[in-house]
Chain A
Amino acid sequence: MGRGFGGGLWRALLLLPLAARGQISVLNGLSHFQPCDEARRGSILVHNQGDSTATVLLQSTVLLGQADELVLPSEVELAPGERRSVPFSWQVHDSLARHAHVEVFAVPSAVAPTAGTWTVVTEIHYLLNLYTGCVETDPSETLHLSHDSLVYSRYDGQQIWKAMGQAYTAWGQTVGAPKPFFFFPGAVRTWRYPEGSAYILLEDESGHVLGYSLQDHAH
């Protein structure tokens, strides 16, 4: 009888959100870019929303570059209500882009299994993207555009390129809202351009402009 659902016994599925001790947040963004002309230092501002001390773990995975090029504490302890800037730096001396994921989360409470029950524990993670690198100076050679109902942009360069996209009608009037883009090596972005668009322009902060005709390349 002990193994079955019958016999008048029931099994319970418990959902246990972690207690207030597990509540942290990130207050200065989920993406951080350190250009190569600066010190390549940044910080992650973490807040303990809970009512008890929180041990916050920062687990980094360098996706582009070497693991030891990113220097970041792996653990900080925050008092209730405390905000703390956790510094990080890139130990990089060339122009190529680097990219890392950092998962920020509070150490979860231990939950002991209870015989005859299923217990679901919930936890919150913040996944941050850290980038560094020099800004692309000739995107015309490294950005490849194509389209069907979407515009596809693929960046084949080795640096970083930030641009604002805008669609235009055949008469040169803007159509739709501008769309920001951030490219790093291998990045592919899609854009559902507004109806009535004849061409798009991508312009970066240095004034480089890339144009793409949606009519000349009609499919």
Chain B
Amino acid sequence: MQRNTFKSAFIAAAVVATASAGHAQNTSNHDVNFTIDEAAMVRVVDVAGGPSTTLPFHIQAPSVAGQAFPVIPSQNLYLQYTSVKGASPDNVRQVDVEVVGGAMPAGIQMTITPSLNGTGTLGNGTPVSFAGSAVSGTLITDIQSAYTGDGAGDGAVLNYSLNYHTQNLDAATSGIITLRYTISNN
């Protein structure tokens, strides 16, 4: 909780004087304070590591009348995080994702599948799907002290895939959907 501060006292030096009068030994003590930030740092970036991007999913009509709408490829964003755990209850963390604004377009299910990459105890990822009334889920659990890197391609890969059937689509439904990622203690 808050900062972990601990002290380590050590004997700094033993100074031996070799004066002609004989040996004299002086010992001094220092306190060394270590402070470790109990960091929780999260950001979402694109494939180039940029903090701002767009990922257009073009749900295009088929080329020939009578065909179903073709499946479109999934796309990735990257969840980059640095976490240093503290004392209980801040010894484990999790990331939840929730639709907090708007609604998924009719007939479309979106699934976010995390694939964790980095160093340390990155946690465990679980796919979360959004459709209809399913609007939230826990994406990553059991994060302890870890970091993902901050470069292009670093981080937990968030694979966004869409699943739909042509007969369920309705192009009249459009607008903004707000996805919230929340990091908290388990």
Contact = CB atoms under 8 A, between A and B. Distances in A.
B39 A17 contact: no
Interface stretch (A4-12, A53-61, A66-74, A137-145): A4-12
Contacts of B9: none
A117 interface: yes
A152 interface: no
A122 B90 contact: no
B152 interface: no
A180 B88 contact: yes
B116 interface: no
For the side of the interface on A, what is the size category?
35 or more
A113 B174 CA distance: 8
Given A29-B38, A30-B185, A118 B174 contact: yes
A63 interface: no
Given A29-B38, A125-B182, A17 B53 contact: yes
Interface in B1-19: 1-3
Of A49, A113, A118, most B-chain CB atoms within 10 Å: A118
A103 B177 CA distance: 20
Contacts of B88: 162, 180-182
A31 B1 contact: yes
Contact of A124 (B1, B60, B169, B181): B181
Given A9-B61, A121-B101, A121-B178, A28 B2 contact: yes
A16 B54 contact: yes
B172 A122 contact: no
Interface string B152-186: 00000000101000100101111111111111110
A123 B181 contact: yes
Given A25-B41, A31-B1, A113 B90 contact: no
Contacts of B41: 25-27, 47, 49
B93 to A, nearest CB: 7
A13 B69 CA distance: 15
A80 interface: no
B162 A126 contact: no
Contacts of A116: 171, 174
B137 to A, nearest CB: 15
B177 A20 contact: no
A38 B53 CA distance: 47
Interface in B95-128: 100-101, 105, 108, 110
A10 B58 contact: yes
Nearest to A31: B90
Nearest to B53: A17
B28 interface: no
Contacts of A121: 101, 176-179
A33 interface: yes
Contacts of A3: 171-172
Given A28-B37, A31-B185, A121-B178, A8 B61 contact: yes
Interface of B: 1-3, 37-46, 51-61, 69, 75, 77, 82, 86-91, 93, 100-101, 105, 108, 110, 160, 162, 166, 169, 171-185
